[in-house]
A and B are shown apart, each in its own frame.
Chain A
Amino acid sequence: MKFINYLQSITGVSIYPMISLVLFSLFFIAAAFWALKAPKGMVDHISNIPLDES
């Protein structure tokens, strides 16, 4: 029942949060980079999807 004990038995468990923070940041930076660099034609097309009443 006490699953915390399993976590405690992993050596160096405290490194995982750090790894996740770094991965997280890298992913976010990549996503932001993409958003800023995405081709204008595509961005215009997507942003007009809600107004497209076909």
Chain B
Amino acid sequence: MNEGRREFLQMSGHLLWLTGAAALAYDYVLAGEPEAAPNYKVTEHWWAMIIDVEKCIGCGNCVRACKEENDVPREPFYFRTWVERYHLPEGDLEHPVVDSPNGGYDGFPEKYREGDGSKNFFVPKLCNQCAHSPCVQVCPVGATFESPDGTVLVDKDYCLGCRYCVQACPYGCRFIDPRTNTVDKCNLCYHRITKGLTTACCEACPTGSRQLGDLKNPKDPIHEFLRTHKVQVLKPHMATGSKAYYNGLDGSVR
């Protein structure tokens, strides 16, 4: 066989193989375009949240903003985010008195007297976007999952409403939306952060207590913050890989 023919055959073979690979890739392309937002690439982000307990004033802006942005049912049983008020009687870390009237949606009416020696503070709560999420682990069908950019999301069109994930979340951040009978929870305003905006709760927070962070962005202030502050996650013994970092978290917080 002469050289020209061999070259031709080799080239055709390569082309054929490439076509096959291209066809496969095109299938994936057709299957969904997560990179639809022109500049957003899932692999370039790793989302986290900083909550500075020392700055939270319990105004409830975050709770209201979240419910409005994400169309969360207004009844007091459904919260993507909520604020808790802690009241520790003098010298007693073990028996905090905690309340969260309507999740903090209407603020916190004053309940405690001056000068009783107690320690009081607010703690905002939300989905911790766990990297080793127990809720994702138990979903029987893959209707909740960890996205490649570090958020835990829900596939509303696939969810069975079995509620196993609600049982498995140690932080109580999931609920069943009574209108769709599927599970719902904070998804870090995925529709906003993929457009370069911040979450609704961070947008509405007047004191900067809540701050979205992108751990893959070297210029993000979260790196400096984590370096210079003593932060904790909730329920560390559960090893959930929680990415909600709390500054100034008191030991009594559940």
Query: Are A and B genuine complex partners?
Result: no
A residues apposed to B, CB below 8 Å: none
B residues apposed to A, CB below 8 Å: none
